[in-house]
Amino acid sequence: MTNPAAKAPAWRKALAPRAAGVVYAFIALLAVLTITSSAQGRPSYLSSVNLSNILEQSALIGILAIFMTVVLISGNFDLSVASTAALAGTVALKLIDGNGTFVAVLAAIACGALVGLVNALLVQKVGVNAFIVTLGTLTAVRGVVQAILDGKSITAHNTALLDFSTGRWELPVAVALVIGVALIALAVVLAVRSGAVREKLVAAWPLWLAGLLVLAIAGFRPNLLDQAVPVWIMIGLALVASLVLRFTVIGRNLYAVGGNAEAARLSGINVDRYKMGAFVLNGVLAAVVGVLYAGRFNSVDPTVLTGGELTVIAAAVLGGTSLFGGSGVVVKSVIGTLILFTLSNGFNVLNIGSNYQNVVQGTVLVAAASLYTATSQRDRALFRKRVARKAPAEPAPVLTKTGA
């Protein structure tokens, strides 16, 4: 059978709502908020200060979303990230005054790795459902945090973490210009080398769009190049994770393991190693986030980051990550995070009651998931039926009568 989707040119697929929807949504959201706020005579929504605010608020959840996406791609699920981060933050602040920064951070990260490993062993080796296991660790690890803190919040005197996570770092304008030009040049070189220039150029839109964005920022909002350290960490991790997933054997195998674990196993891929690795990595990065979060105020309390895991999963789903494994793009999950935080930021800026904030966020999430499902290849039942009913008139066959 011929498959119409296979015949569509690559660029069409790359720009389809399913592939790039989250980008369109983000741009549309920014446009709506910009127009609304200027109509109300407020300062520009796209000001450097406001954009920096959104980025800074998103950074930690964004980092979690990157590695949640990795776990989801591997075909698993992790609810324990926020508790793990809280534990790591608590451990770091408990130890930093007595044992120094290095030991504190190391112990915090070890805690994260340990929680990840427990999740991994229970899910992959014992075979308990990932949802149940991580629901358990979510609760138990939060319990450990409460036990350590005993209902009180703690503050550290050593300000090393505070200095680090609230520090800022500025990318020189010249470097930004070079990066922007390099990205665009790379897109052009790739397109020219492949032959089909126009098609390739459209298909490589993330490259040159990112390049244009960097140039625009360097040109018009140079203040945006000065960002808090967590924002740069998020950008760096997103880049590294994207490159590993897209261009290495590890990335390819991870998608294979999540897409069809049995086929991957019989092809000689060590399925357990990949799935467990994703859990441990997620635990480690949750710990890093916990340390950064604790550093932000140099204090933690027992309820720190409660419910954060749901925001993280919502961000990944907004970014089009499949909960069944085998598909997902980390950059889109980061954009999903930005959408969530832009929404709440927009509510504040426009001074709309925060009561409706959750209603809107929940609606956006469900709407996005519905859209992805309805337009996906496998689950297109709804749209397909509609189309079939509306268009029963297929092209009249060219009748070549045969036989009597």
Interface with another protein, residue 329, by CB under 8 A: no
Does the protein bind another protein through residue 252 (CB under 8 A)? yes
Euclidean distance between CA atoms 179 and 217, whole angstroms: 12
Site string for another protein, 267-286 (x = CB under 8 A): xxxx----------------
Applying CB under 8 A, among 41, 127, 353, 392 the residue interacting with another protein is 392
Nearer to another protein, 222 or 259 (CB): 259
Cα separation, 80 vs 96, in Å, equals 24
* Burial of 91 from C-beta contacts in 10 A (0-12 / 13-18 / 19+): buried
Count of residues touching another protein (by CB under 8 A): 41
| Cα angle for residues 377, 381, 382 (degrees, 5° grid) | 115
Contact window for another protein (CB under 8 A) among 145-153, 202-210, 262-270, 296-304: 262-270
Distance CA(141)–CA(117), nearest Å, equals 13
Contact call for residue 249 and another protein (CB under 8 A): yes
The answer to whether the CB of 71 falls within 8 A of the CB of 77 is yes
For residue 225, give Cα distances in angstroms to 168, 172, 191, 219, 240: 10, 7, 29, 10, 20
Site string for another protein, 366-385 (x = CB under 8 A): -----------xx-------
Q: Which residue among 50, 52, 227, 253 contacts another protein (CB under 8 A)?
A: 253
State the Cα–Cα distance between residues 313 and 336, nearest whole angstrom.
Answer: 10
Query: CB of residue 253 vs another protein: minimum separation in angstroms?
Result: 7
- How many other C-beta atoms can be found within 10 angstroms of the C-beta atom of residue 241? 23
Interface with another protein, residue 1, by CB under 8 A: yes
The correct pick among 39, 150, 195, 394 for binding another protein (CB under 8 A) is 394
42 contributes a contact to another protein by CB under 8 A: no
- Burial class of residue 223 (count of CB atoms within 10 Å of its CB; 0-12, 13-18, 19+): middle
- Give me the least distance between CB of 390 and another protein, in Å please: 13
Torsion over CA: 110, 111, 112, 116 (sign): positive
Q: Which stretch binds another protein (CB under 8 A): 37-45, 172-180, 245-253, 313-321?
A: 245-253
Q: Given the complex with another protein, which of 213 and 388 has the nearer CB atom?
A: 388
User: Distance (Å, rounded) from C-alpha 163 to C-alpha 96?
Assistant: 13
For the bound state, the minimum distance from the C-beta of residue 176 to another protein, rounded and expressed in Å, comes to 27
Cα–Cα–Cα angle for 139, 143, 144, nearest 5°?
125
The correct pick among 123, 183, 217, 256 for binding another protein (CB under 8 A) is: 256
- On whether the CB atoms of residues 79 and 131 are closer than 8 A, the answer is yes
104 sits near another protein (criterion: CB under 8 A): no
Q: Among residues 12, 18, 221, 265, which is the contact residue for another protein, using CB under 8 A?
A: 265
**259 touching another protein, by CB under 8 A:** yes
- Residues in a beta bridge with 168: 228
Spatial CA neighbour of 62 closest among 321, 389, 385, 316: 316
Q: Is 127 in the site for another protein (CB under 8 A)?
A: no
Query: In this structure, which amino acid lies at residue 257?
Result: V
CB of 90 to another protein, least distance (A): 38
Q: Which of 112, 230, 326, 328: binder of another protein (CB under 8 A)?
A: 326
Q: How far apart are CA 241 and CA 324, in angstroms?
A: 20
Of 61-69, 147-155, 265-273, 346-354, which part binds another protein (CB under 8 A)?
265-273
Binding residues for another protein (CB under 8 A): 1-7, 247-250, 252-253, 256, 259-260, 262-270, 326-327, 377-378, 392, 394-404
